[in-house]
Amino acid sequence: MDTRVISATLNLRSLENAASFSPAQTGSLYHPSSAVSTAKSSEEAEENNSYYTGSGKSPAPKKPKGFFRNAKKTGPTAIVIGVVFAAVFAIFGSASFLGSQMETLLTRATDTVFGSYSENSLRITKELLAGERGSFPKYFENRLKKEGVEVTGSGPYTLNYDGYSITADNFEEYYKNDIQFREAYTKAKRGRTANFFDIPASLAFAKISLSRNLFANYRQTGDAKSDDASYRKLESSVFEDGTATRLNTVTEKEVTDENGNPITDENGNTVTEKAPSGEDINSSGTSGDSPKVKAQNYLLDISARVSEAGGIACAALKVGNLISTAIAVNQIYQMIHYFGSGEENVSKTLSGHGDAAAMNYLFNDMAETKTTTYIDAETGEEKEITGAMLEAEGFATSLAGERANTKKTKNYSIESAFITTGFAIGLTAANNKLCGGVRVAGAVISLISFAVSGALINSVVTLAKTVIVNAALATTISTMLSALIPRIATTLFTNRFEQLEGIPAGEAYVEGVDLLNKKVARQSNGQLLATEEIATAYNVYTIAAAANEAELDREQRSPFDLSSPNTFLGSLVGKMAVLAGSSNILSSLKSVGSLIGSATSSITNHFLASASASNSMKDSATILAIFENTKLNVDTSLSGTEFQSIFSDTDTCKNLSSIGAACDMYSAEITASDPKVIGKNLNKAKYEEVVEENTEKDEDGFRKVKDHSLLAKKVKYCDGRDSPFGVLDANILNDFETTLGVFDYFPVISDVVDIVNAVETASDEAINWATGQYCVMSEADNPYYEDLIYLQAFEEDQRIASQLKLDEVTDEEGNDRNSIVAFTVEYNEKNPLDTSNPAAILAHYTGSTLEDAELALSLIEYCAFLENYNPPEFTPLSPEYTLSYASIEDSESTLSNFIYLYSDVHNPIIYDDLRSKSYAV
């Protein structure tokens, strides 16, 4: 193992109370701090020493001569600059700090749930204290008690903390002004980390089969060459034969009776039915000896299946839309898995399991300058680019707090293939309008996903037309769209892990966490798509939540602690990381130099104010003492908060723009909660009215989602959507068609005929749900807007209630009765996926397995284990927490069955304390 990783691991294992720090307080899911003891010593020194002389005057210092004459004035600045440059050498010499920085800053940049969660948690707690949410749950009471907060009363309730009585009336005041109470409360409810490990989040992860234990069998041997090869082999295996896109056309044929005679209707007309017109075009079986040759043949095959549909340009547009959609779908889930598998190495190392991870090899890739190629979104041409992963625009924004250049990120965006299509056929607004029917009638996509064992994405694309063009026309269309060949080759016919490196790999990494957290935000918290106006308004809550947890984190740390971006020196690490991998060092130095100047000025001003109050500017030792013993509530610019305020223009994200949604730097949707329903802004009368319309109480008094309600549609068509927004989703259309208005659950699309019927008979209502327009918080374009934002608030309320175990969602046996989870589990049961390998296939885009329901039940027990496991300090794994294969096999508990099913039989999953692991573990 690299000595840097060993050093990081040893530091982690020696931290006092490291495991008991709530990950939520910092935005990071780990708290490795090399300065805990230093901070404690400093606090003791502050209690025993006064920096005020008592006389009101400082002893008159001797006047220095020469160079030192102005030392009194320049001392603070000189010291800070010296410390900064000393830190630079430490940063360049160690990769151990970057991991915790990435955990914090990538989460802060892309997690859109925490802003509303923070505000709504306060509102719900206040209602609980007032006796409006049932009895105070024993679970939450016990967690508060561990943090020194006693609960008294029988409703209303009082929190007794440090001699103070905190009630519903003064709760917010104490939370705001008493940082120790705020910390205790935050730790008790687990803060941000609760949203990555509760049941809704786990179901979201399971649905896309994102493994959080891919490296279960990986062990470092000490042989760097061998360990690196093992790491690359494991990562590569995720993407082997990782994509498949099937396509067919449809034709009409006569319906005959058992004797082969045509059947006629009451008017004597022959009855016809739609049916596949030939063999599927399957990308996994496309011939060719190279990715580009396969891409060419694939494009030609699809072109040969498409009717003219209004002319050659419209036919080309149809083909381009079909292929672009397939590329977008595959890219979304490839990037999610690319990030997830990589970040697991960071998470495990930071939690003390460095021998079961390859963080050092990942960081070697991140910092190494590479010359590689990217695909220009407009021309489709491959171009060279030189740089390291850490130089990607996504990392610059997340780690260094810089504004991204969206002209660069559009080349890696979700809609990049659509941009290329438009460029290739000279698409204008007028042409697009003339071919308007193409997208509805032809570019229909049905999505099925298997994210393991060589089938990462399987997208089924269907052409709802009967005419097949001749070979000459197919060749013409193929030639027009040849600019798509490089992107088809890399997305459908290349192992993405082996193909990605340098700056494009960095963009893919950050794009992956962005897409993952947006999906979790929708599927587990019910967040909707935002317009630019709402996204901007909501970002204020995201920044406020980040600033709050940064302040809490700073309370526990020395200003010299490099592991956290919330301290003075720590705030420089992300920027230094970008510099460390920079191929343009002069430009980066200029950026970092500006940062240092700004930070130094801020710190110096703080020093001068502190020293003036204490009259103790007599020597540099005193200045350093002030520096060490002051929490320095300085603005460290909160790197990562820029991410959600960077919008791409409409030309970069035509699909999202077509439904009125804003898009981010990677042309992904922006998820948010409407400020009108956050915290105290919630109109309770309207909220209760909407909830009553969409839910009903079962025989036990718990709420359940009405099958035909707006909430049911929202959960299915918005929260659970897996296709790109703005693209017509055949599964949703099929739901409206096959159920004839009684849309309990939409079935798996397995018959092309159903897709065609759905397209041909679709109403405006169905089309707007199928494109996702009704999932956008747009007062002008969405008639359901007002009710939907209250339904989102209800979903979040249910989730927080489950996390705190409130009476409204917890039965007498302690079982969770969350109405949204129950609806999802029931849907899974009604739409089982027939598979012989339940441990492999955990997700299905248009239906789910019975195993998901079993998983939910197992997770309830597992979460109960986590809730009651709160050790005083982090320790390495010990035998009492190790689950052997034999013990699992003999056990009948649902938890053990879950671990057995989803682990390798030779190396079962070992979880000692998931509270200290991130969503990427």
Per-residue pLDDT tens for 383-401?
999 999 999 999 989 988 8
According to the model, what pLDDT value does residue 374 have?
96
**Mean pLDDT: which of 23-27, 28-32, 903-907 is highest?**
903-907
The percent of residues above 70 in pLDDT, for the chain, comes to 65
According to the model, what pLDDT value does residue 870 have?
53
**Residue 837 pLDDT > 50:** no
**Residue 502 pLDDT > 70:** yes
**Residue 202 confidence class, pLDDT cut points 50, 70, 90:** confident
- Is residue 186 within 8 A of residue 22, CB to CB? The reply is yes
* Cα–Cα nearest to 535, from 721, 674, 394, 724: 674
**Residue 914 pLDDT > 60:** no
According to the model, what pLDDT value does residue 464 have?
59
Q: Which two tokens stand for residue 228?
A: 């690196």
As separate numbers, helices (DSSP H) first and strands (DSSP E) second, the chain gives: 38, 14
**Residue 241 pLDDT > 70:** no
Q: How many CA atoms lie within 13 A of 750 on its CB side?
A: 7
According to the model, what pLDDT value does residue 309 have?
52
**Residue 118 pLDDT > 50:** yes
Residues 466, 752: Cα–Cα separation, whole Å:
13
**Residue 703 confidence class, pLDDT cut points 50, 70, 90:** very high
* Cα–Cα nearest to 801, from 189, 201, 176, 148: 189
C-alpha distances (whole Å) from 539 to each of 166, 389, 536, 565, 675 are 30, 27, 5, 20, 10
Token pair 């490990």 in the structure block, residue: 197
Kindly state the average pLDDT of the residues 520-532.
96
CA dihedral angle for residue 558, residue 564, residue 569, residue 575, rounded to 10 degrees: 180
According to the model, what pLDDT value does residue 876 have?
41
Lowest mean pLDDT among 202-211, 335-344, 428-437, 534-543: 428-437
According to the model, what pLDDT value does residue 536 have?
95
- Is residue 389 within 8 A of residue 365, CB to CB? The reply is yes
Kindly state the average pLDDT of the residues 859-874.
50
According to the model, what pLDDT value does residue 738 have?
54
**Residue 111 pLDDT > 80:** yes
**Residue 863 confidence class, pLDDT cut points 50, 70, 90:** low
**Residue 23 pLDDT > 90:** no
559 versus 606: the higher-pLDDT residue is 559
**Residue 473 pLDDT > 70:** yes
**Residue 270 pLDDT > 50:** yes
**Residue 4 pLDDT > 50:** no
911 versus 466: the higher-pLDDT residue is 466
According to the model, what pLDDT value does residue 445 have?
65
**Residue 575 pLDDT > 80:** no
Mean predicted lDDT score pLDDT of the chain: 74
**Residue 789 confidence class, pLDDT cut points 50, 70, 90:** very high
The percent of residues above 90 in pLDDT, for the chain, comes to 38
Kindly state the average pLDDT of the residues 191-203.
89
Kindly state the average pLDDT of the residues 811-835.
78
SS3 content of the chain, % helix, strand, coil (to 5): 55, 10, 35
**Residue 191 pLDDT > 80:** yes
According to the model, what pLDDT value does residue 267 have?
84
- Is residue 209 within 8 A of residue 451, CB to CB? The reply is yes
Kindly state the average pLDDT of the residues 691-701.
95
**Residue 64 pLDDT > 90:** no
**Mean pLDDT: which of 159-168, 252-261, 586-595 is highest?**
159-168
pTM to 2 decimal places: 0.77
According to the model, what pLDDT value does residue 791 have?
98
Kindly state the average pLDDT of the residues 656-678.
96
**Residue 751 confidence class, pLDDT cut points 50, 70, 90:** low
According to the model, what pLDDT value does residue 886 have?
33
Lowest mean pLDDT among 96-105, 108-117, 728-737: 728-737
> CA end-to-end span of the chain, whole Å?
20
According to the model, what pLDDT value does residue 468 have?
56
Kindly state the average pLDDT of the residues 110-125.
96
According to the model, what pLDDT value does residue 591 have?
45
866 versus 755: the higher-pLDDT residue is 755
DSSP H or E segment with residue 373: strand 370-375
- As a whole number of Å, the CA-based R_g of the chain is 29
325 versus 450: the higher-pLDDT residue is 325
- Is residue 914 within 8 A of residue 193, CB to CB? The reply is no
Residues 684, 208: Cα–Cα separation, whole Å:
35
